[in-house]
Structure formats: C-alpha cells, structure tokens
Structure 1
C-alpha cells in the first residue's frame, strides 16, 4: 500500500523531538586511532552517559563510542517521565516472580529517580525537573479490575499511592485511576548535556560517528569499529539500545521492538499537572512541559510492534484527535516517534552479556521506561566494575529464565518472526514507481523482484532492496518517519538504506532505478 504523509497542515511534515530543539548540543570527533582505556562504553544515551559520569567520578578512564550523534536515539525521543510506575506491572511481577523480585524492581527504579533528583540538585542543573504524581487510568470495567489488582500489589510491596475516583480533566468513558505519589519529570537532553560537560572535564573521551561492530573477548576485551579501529578496556559496556554484539545471549530471539508516537501541542485548556497513562488500548500518555514560557502538552501512545500494523501517520492523527477532544488544540508544535525493546518477562537485561563473559556488560530491553531503568543500569554497571554488592543484580541479570512467562513468550515472539518472514516472501506488491507522488514510499515490483521505492519532495526516486540485512525478513514502509522498518526484530533503515536502528548492521542494497531494467540476475544479486 502506498503511504503518504499528512497533508492537512496540522501535523508537522518532519518528525523532530522537542527535547533536541533549542539545545546547543556539543559535537565530538570520529575515532581515528586505536585506544586503551579502563572502560569502553558503546552508546551515547542515558545509560552510556550516566555510566561514563559515574565512572569518571571514580577516577577511571572511559571512552564513549556513539554511532551517530549523542542523544539522538531513544533517550532523545522519550516522554521523559522519571517514574517507577511502569504501566500495570507489579501485580504481574508478584504473580510470576514473587513479592521480593517485584519489590526489588520498584526499589531499583526509585533509587534511580532519587539519583537523578540528587544529581540535578548537586550540580544545579537547569533541566525542568519537577516532582509530579503519576496516574494509571482505566476506561473499561475490565481494566478497572486490573487497576484494583495493581493497587493491592502496591500495598503488598509498600508503594505510596492507591486508587482515586477522579482525574482533573475529561476523558471519554473514564472509570478509575491508580496514583503513585512523588514521581518526577524532566528535560532529558538538558540533564545529560550537563553530565557530558562533567565527563569532559574529568578526562572522559567521547567519539561520535563511530560505529562499533564487534568485540574481541578475553581478559581485556576490545571493541572493533567499522573503520577498523580498536578500543581496549578492562570492561566493555554495551548501551546501544539493541546490543551491537550478542555473544551467545540470543537477544534477537528474547526481545521484540515496539514503537509508539508522540505529539507536543499548544492547547486551549491548561494542563492540570501530573503524569498520566491509560491502561486500555490504544494507550494514551500525558504530561506537560514549557517552551519559551509557553505550556506544551506531550501526548503519546498508539503502541505497536515495529514494521507491523497500519499506515504510521494514522497513529499521529489518532493522537491529534484525542488531544482536540480533551484539551482543544491551538497548534501541534512537534511530532516524533520512539522505539524500545521488550524482553520475554518485561524486566530489562542488565549485566554480563552471557555466562562466561564477565568483562562484557549489556543493558537493553527497557520497555519504554528508560529514564529510570537506564539510570538503574548505569548504577549497577558502576557497582559491578568496582566489585560492590548490588541487590538488583539478580533481578536484572540477562542469564535469568523463568519458565512462566518466559517460555510461553519465547515461542510466541519467535512464531511471530517466522510468520512475518514467510509472509514477506510470498506477498507480491502491486505498486510501481510511476504511481508514486512526491513524498510517497511503497514496496514495488521490478522485473519480478520486490524493491522499496521512495520519491522525495524534489521528485528524486530512491530504490532499495527490501530484504533486511539481519536475518532476511522483508521491511515495510513507515510513512511517518520515511523509513523502512523490519517487522521481525525491529531494524530500521533510512529511505536511502542506511541503518537507523539495529540489530541490523549492514545497510539495505541501493539501486539506481533508471538502470534497473538493464540489470541482469547476476547484477541484482539473485
């Protein structure tokens, strides 16, 4: 199906997160030589930068390697809620793992919240940090029952909060809410840019446009870059969203990628304060911030597996409709989307990447709650490296496996991969290049072969092979971000084929569409 960007004029044509606007982001060089440091950190988001901050404070020499620009991944596309209220989760954790594990998960994320609060105060960081109560709300009787069970879980593990009858704005079919008191929100880029300054002051090394592709393991592991440089350290921390190196951890089979959508709006109605998340589908997330003294309401939701589902612009339009109904919209100032990874049991993987590799540590699978989970991961990394006992290590360890729900979810997730792998091979597209208008993309058929084509706003056509370079699934066009997304493991590629998000490491093959008719089977790679 041809998918086209919104032409109503209400939604911004280009997706761009609010957090990176009006910020003077520092720039760093590409790595041009081999290095040896104490700790090599791959990934320049909240986990990698917080880890670097913590470790330079301990006198260790660190090097941060970022494939793109700092804070341009999931951290720069968040809703930036700093909370231990991670949807309906604690009743499920008690049922599956026991009260002790549920309590430890809550404490780890609360410690992370308190660390951020303390760091903001200690360094007087201007990052719009404010304490807010967090609410889950239900619009159906089915989910009221689930909220009541979650409230009992709060009580069982000692979470301050409880059920409330009302929230301070009108939501269609609203039934009941569950509050977690004394949570927070902030501007993540302002916060982390300040930490970057401290990392630099204390001798930390940061490199952008430096892609890590592999690790040589051993007593002193080394990260190998795409440009054939080597960075050796006593420890390697993989903080790159999806692990760029999986070892024998089989992370591709133990996680799936999930996308959600966000609009930042100026409204007729004033936002009443607090942070809100619906527990019914489709999800709706609410909080506010300010821009040049004006209030912006951040509306998120519309979650779905990456590369699957309807035209992605429809998700933005659904959020626009919701915002208009609840607040009345004057302007949609920004729109963007976010992607994160979900583990088999919904708890992140943080620790030794696989048994027998204690010097290579990984953090992944935050399930869209990376502000606290990413900070908790960095605190855990510090303690592992300094050989300090940490009570949360057993909760997050990647080597864990619970028969329920992990086994059931393992088979379910991988059956979905197989389904989409087969579906992409047997379904034939019906579009062709001639039918594309400007700023449209589609899967097309050229000489019997499946290709992806996008016609940009200047009328130039970009053609790529639609076979994902990870395990060979067929990518689908994402009109909202003008990207090619894989429905199997969430790899994403630009319309020119470059890797935007892993696990894929190699770009899609590009073609000169004017020359395609002259390609032989050998030239095409078939």
Structure 2
C-alpha cells in the first residue's frame, strides 16, 4: 500500500479524522497539586468522570500523559451501541441471563447519558440515531448470529433477525441481526464540550504530564517528579499505569485495529454494521462539516506487535474491501487504535483491588468503549458519591467467576508471552543504519549491537534500544504507525522512544547516531 499511495502526503503518517477538530490545550503540571479526586487519563472515561464529579461539587484534577483525546477515544469508530458484535450468548454462558441483561442495559444507559449530556450542554456532536446490525457472510457466521438471536429472545432484547441476503448491503450475507435506535457521534466534538464545562466548574486540567507511580494509594507521582495528592484516584489511562504487580496485564489481551475514511460515489447504506465473521469489517457513515457523507471502514485487527504481515497491509485490506463493494475512490484519513479485552469480555470498572478502597479503575472495554465508557464514568462517580449503582457488581474488577475456557485462555495467553519474549529477544537485525531509506525503519546492527532504527523523511536517523521498559521483551517495528510495539504485553513506543501505549510508563533509551 505504501507504494500505491506514496504520492499522497496524508499516507505518510496516520491521522484520525476525529482529531482534526480543534481541541482545547492545557499546560503541563509543573507544580505539586492537591485535589479531592485525581483523574488520570484524558479519554471518554476520564473526561466524563471529571465532568460528572465536578458537576456534583467535587474538586477535580484531570491529568493526561499526552494530548487530550489522543488515545483510543480519538481513534474509535464512534458507535454508541449495545451491540458489540456477538456478546450476549457469551455472557449468559459465563454468568447468567440476569448479568447479560444488565450488560445490555448498561450500554443503553451509556447511550442515553451521552445523548442527554449533549442536549443539556447544547453540544453539537453530530449525534445521529441509527440502527445497528451484526451480519454474517458464511454459514458458520449465520449459525452464530442465530444463536445470538436466541440469546436476545431470552433477554427480551428487541431485534430483527434476517436470514439470507440483507438488502441494505451491496454484498451477499447469510444472516443479520438488527438492533434499532442505537447511535453514532463525533466523540471529540462531544468531549471538547465537556472539557470546557470542567474548566468552567473549576476543575484543573493538565496534559503532557505522565503519571508513572502511585504512592500510598493517594499520591500520584508524575514523570517530571511533581506530585498530585488526592483523596481518591481514578485510573482511566486505558491501561492502568499503576499495575505494578501485574494483576491486570496477565488478564488483558491487547490488540490493534484499523480504520479508513473514504469518499464514496454512491449513496451509503443506512445504519451501522459489523461483521460476525473474521476478519472484522465495521461500517458507518460520517457527516463531514461541509455536509458530505463519507464512509468509515474499520477492522482487520491483530494482537499488538504480532501482525502476520507488514502492518500497512491492514489498511490495504480495508481499502480493497471498500473498492470492491462500495466503489470508494479517495482516501481522506486513516488511523488505528489499541484495544484491550478481558477474559470474560466485560470491562473492569470499580475498586482496583480489595486492598485499595481509594483507587478506582476503568479498563478492558473489548473494542466497545463509547456507551460503556459513559456508563463507567457514571459508575465511578456513584461509587465516589456513595450512591447505589446497578452495575457495580457486574463490572467489579475483583470478580472471579470465569468459564473453564476463559481460564484455559488465561494460561495459553501467558504461556504465549514467554514464547514471544524468547522469540523477540533472539531476533537478529539484517540491516545496518545506512540501509534505511527515508521513512523506513527496522532492527539494525550498530557496532555489533542490536538497535531500532528509523530514518525520517528529512533523512535524519533515530536510534533506540529495543528492549521494552515494561518487562524487557524485544520490540517489533510497526511500519504503518512508525512505532516500536511489544508482542508480550502490548506496550508501544514512538520511533523517538516516547511511550504511546502502556503498560510501559518509561520511554526507550535513545542512542546518539553520530557516536
């Protein structure tokens, strides 16, 4: 794909459409601070939690490691739906019908909360009510959808099952399950409105301030040595920055998925779609500011640091799909996202451990964090405000009930980590720095030592040590994102060594290429 689009400047580095919107900027935290509630993480959970708590009269300080909304929230497909592909039969099997019904209602409540909040604050965030459909193109996928439809019936979820061809899509389907009155929106427009409201309510907001340590459960230590003293800490940093005992990374699977936003010469299908078959294909329309209707195609996910091909191929696969079935003729934006999935597919939201009543966490949204992100913010707020909440037990991070298959997956995952560690550490470079062309990276040998090299578009060479600062795994080059990715636990670093995604909190060691 790189050769195919080499003459288009926008393909040099990924950029999310949502992040082209102007976002308020805030200063770094350069002095020690005290607050009632410290919220770590500037995505949908962190911002909505800070807003709800500030609205409730709490003194709040929101801290983001990089730019606000630059994480998963700024790289989502931005569907607000209770239908994250196939999930309800799984929850019934793992828990029971009551818990599955609660999960459905939690997503519906999140959808309503986003809608009500945007209405109350008069935020124009392109909120649109849409039907959501999960579809299959194989007989095996059709059987899964029919099984899911039976789960819907047990739970009293209203939906329409279509067997055979779905007329709204331009390709053959074997079955589809449609849930009405779901929604889509522009997440950055919505959360920008909340940032302004947090500021108006007296909340403090800092960016470019990375939390690296939690001391005595109430003092957050920043990378620059400054401290935030809190009564309660909310860890909404996507991956818990304070998972020093490995409680969470052993139970979370971390993956990357991709998206392209394209121009389409034909009318777009009405509604939102996601495939039940693999590789995943996710579809929705996007209304640009000039009124033009664009098509967002997402999917093609893989475990972080473990793509079976050049990572650029994942964008190519989405484009090929769009050209084949929608006659797409121009790529406007492209981006990717990092997602985490728990063993039982439900997020961890609430008290982080039994021993830490003043530390709350929200993580593991299974690639579906908009509606559940809003509900999580409300749950965390209710816990802090000592209010009852129907989802407290459902999402409790300390819950322990898993199916045997989930326990088996836990052991397989952690056994695989050991293999990945050995494989990545033993990988030897085949290049030297002089072999790297402009905008090219990979493992290189420098005076017999393995390093990570990237030569930028101006010809400048960047060298880093490719040992992950989390637990020492070797890193793999991600050509699509120009990043160094860890196949063991999913940490990611820029070509300059900066932390992009946890669990790592410490940057890579830089090497002077002139020495």
Class of the TM-score when normalised by the shorter of the 2 chains: over 0.9
CA offset at residue 514 of structure 1?
3.5
Alignment of 1:356-371 (within 5 A): 356-371=355-370
Alignment TM-score, normalising by the size of structure 1: 0.94
Q: Give the one of 42, 45, 60 matched to 2:43.
A: 45
Residue 437 (structure 1) aligns with? 437
Matched, 1:317 2:316: yes
CA offset at residue 7 of structure 1?
3.9
Moved more, 185-194 or 423-432: 423-432
Matched, 1:120 2:118: yes
Q: Give the one of 229, 232, 238 matched to 1:232.
A: 229
1:6/1:447 CA distance change after superposition, 3 Å = farther
Matched, 1:507 2:507: yes
Residue 62 (structure 1) aligns with? 60
CA deviation string 1:73-122 (max 9, x = no partner): 10000000000101111001111111111111111111111111111222
Q: How far apart in 2 are the matches of 1:113 and 1:265?
A: 26
User: What SS does structure 1 have at the residue aligned with 2:394?
Assistant: helix
CA deviation string 1:317-342 (max 9, x = no partner): 01011001111122100000011111
Residue 480 (structure 1) aligns with? 480
Residue 374 (structure 1) aligns with? 373
CA offset at residue 426 of structure 1?
2.2
Residue 241 (structure 2) aligns with? 244
User: What SS does structure 1 have at the residue aligned with 2:477?
Assistant: strand
User: What SS does structure 1 have at the residue aligned with 2:329?
Assistant: strand
Alignment of 1:112-511 (within 5 A): 112-165=110-163, 166-217=165-216, 221-246=218-243, 248=245, 250-291=247-288, 292-309=290-307, 310-404=309-403, 405-511=405-511
Count of residue pairs brought into register by the alignment: 510
Residue 35 (structure 1) aligns with? 33
CA deviation string 1:211-254 (max 9, x = no partner): 11111225xx1111112222122210000010011255611111
CA contact (8 A) 2:62 2:205 kept: yes
CA deviation string 1:12-67 (max 9, x = no partner): 2221000111x221111111222221100001110011001101111111000111
- Let me know the Cα RMSD of the aligned residues: 1.6
User: What SS does structure 2 have at the residue aligned with 1:114?
Assistant: helix
Residue 109 (structure 1) aligns with? 107
1:233/1:6 CA distance change after superposition, 3 Å = farther
User: What SS does structure 1 have at the residue aligned with 2:209?
Assistant: coil
Q: How far apart in 2 are the matches of 1:445 and 1:249?
A: 32
Moved more, 65-74 or 449-458: 449-458
CA contact (8 A) 1:349 1:396 kept: yes
CA offset at residue 513 of structure 1?
2.7
Task: Structure 2: give runs of 5+ residues left out of the alignment.
Answer: none
CA deviation string 1:269-294 (max 9, x = no partner): 11121000011111100001111111
CA offset at residue 172 of structure 1?
4.3
Q: How far apart in 2 are the matches of 1:6 and 1:418?
A: 37
Q: How far apart in 1 are the matches of 2:30 and 2:464?
A: 30
CA offset at residue 197 of structure 1?
1.1
CA offset at residue 408 of structure 1?
1.4
CA offset at residue 505 of structure 1?
1.2
Q: How far apart in 1 are the matches of 2:424 and 2:66?
A: 30
CA contact (8 A) 1:154 1:162 kept: no
CA contact (8 A) 2:168 2:270 kept: no
CA contact (8 A) 1:306 1:486 kept: yes
Residue 522 (structure 1) aligns with? none
CA deviation string 1:444-477 (max 9, x = no partner): 2334432111111111111111111111111111
CA contact (8 A) 2:169 2:269 kept: no
CA offset at residue 168 of structure 1?
4.0
Q: How far apart in 2 are the matches of 1:372 and 1:441?
A: 38
Moved more, 254-263 or 405-414: 405-414
CA offset at residue 256 of structure 1?
1.9
Moved more, 149-158 or 239-248: 239-248
Residue 521 (structure 1) aligns with? none
1:171/1:477 CA distance change after superposition, 3 Å = farther
User: What SS does structure 1 have at the residue aligned with 2:134?
Assistant: strand
CA contact (8 A) 2:6 2:12 kept: no
CA offset at residue 5 of structure 1?
6.8
1:399/1:267 CA distance change after superposition, 3 Å = same
1:73/1:6 CA distance change after superposition, 3 Å = farther
CA deviation string 1:340-394 (max 9, x = no partner): 1111111111111111101100000111111012111101001100111112111
Task: Structure 1: give runs of 5+ residues left out of the alignment.
Answer: 516-526
User: What SS does structure 2 have at the residue aligned with 1:252?
Assistant: coil
1:170/1:386 CA distance change after superposition, 3 Å = closer
CA offset at residue 431 of structure 1?
2.3
